[in-house]
Structure 1
């Protein structure tokens, strides 16, 4: 049998014999590690038809090995614990199939000699019941299984017969070694003869070797309007602007500034906008309703802040603004109605909340 065969044939008779010899290593997982714990930790990690290893038992065994081997890598500890637990599961399954049990005096001695249940140097029934986490009957049954399992381990380890032909390959595997030769060559012994063009060509042909995984730096920002409102600073003018009722406005677009100024003068003299539309019909290119106009413009506003300021400089409904040159022509705005004021017009907190909501 080759050494490679020994590694691959995990189910061979020889491997089972060696596992039997290794079972004694389970002695470190005695009664203090198994058979106790709350129901929340009893999900099965490994199981057979007649036995199982729970997550609670695995966690206890993992801590036990880590404490005894603080320098061992976590992955190595996990591998060792799982290997030992599989061995224990095989024993537990055997004990369930062919029941072995300890006597009551043996169980009593094991409990009384466990320093976990001692108080002031002596066994304490109160401490025992407080620590075990299960009923005394269940704990005694677990102790019985542990004692039976330890007895089975000792029996296997002390009575197993292994032939020299089966043992020799494992001895050779354990004693295997490798001779390694290392040659050190100084970097200064080599000169760089690559040209810039050669290095660029090499880089282009091997770009994937010089790439690193894409990474991003993410920072979360809480856009909470209520929180932002607390940081909004209002002055008296801002509060007055926010509290000012919106205005209903319509418009006229003239073809030239001269006609627009004549129409404005007529409006100032008392002529209605409807009459101006009739008198200047040839000079008016467009007319319509701007709708609701607020004191401060936003993304939905149809006019700029300069035009808005002109509208809010008017003193009474029915007045018109002076003609303004816009991208659509000579604009002439007419204030038609005063809309209802916001209900929060006198509440500073509501003004802050309104400004915060505008961000969204």
Structure 2
């Protein structure tokens, strides 16, 4: 397939066609492809429609990418209406570029197999954990992008097809006659050079400069006479790996025995009380406990003060 692509790319006619496609887009701009707001698509390139949903997904993906890259700085850009309008236009321009390249790739009968798409997904570092493809991470990233697996696979297929086209055209060895003439002239060119040695110190000695002129020049060019702030630091490098000392169990026990107060806390005792209104009720509760009754259940049922139980 790549051989046929290179053959096609070397055709002067196809090169001209490819150039016309790109130049026509540059000259006419996006407006040549935009249709009125009453339609269900954001743009139409020849007979290929770019749906509003496709455009919004691409815009949201670009916005999420910028937010992750810029962090808090992105909120300032997002608040700028002019910037966001320009960003939307750039995303639409990119979709139109991709549509043009996709159409030309289909004319050359270029294509990417399902297996190639699959291998490209598996090889994407963003979808890997410890160097291996992770399906959960893959699905999580697609959810963040607002895309299904089929949508992402198709977008990747289009991208790989476009890259195949670009590589085929950029990798051709074909050169126009004008290009070869310019290259030959550049390689064969000659220069005539005359040299002269100028004694700067002698010239400077002939130029009288007053103290006032020196001070004035210094004031106007202070930055040229300043050096960045510098620091001299003294430090001791401590490497835990080289300072480790073997410690036996006996040494650990001895240190513990000598510093027990550092590893102990004063004893604390917490009491739970079942408070009754009469002595008879207290005896009845005690009998229940002696018989194996559950303290918590009896406290909840019998105690007059639930909080202290």
* Fold similarity call, TM over 0.5: no
Q: TM-score, structure 2 length as denominator?
A: 0.32
Question: Larger C-alpha radius of gyration, 1 or 2?
Answer: 1
Q: Which structure has greater strand proportion?
A: 1
Q: State the TM-score, normalizing by the size of structure 1.
A: 0.28
- More helix by proportion, 1 or 2? 2
- The structure whose RCO (Cα within 8 Å, separation 6+) is larger is 1
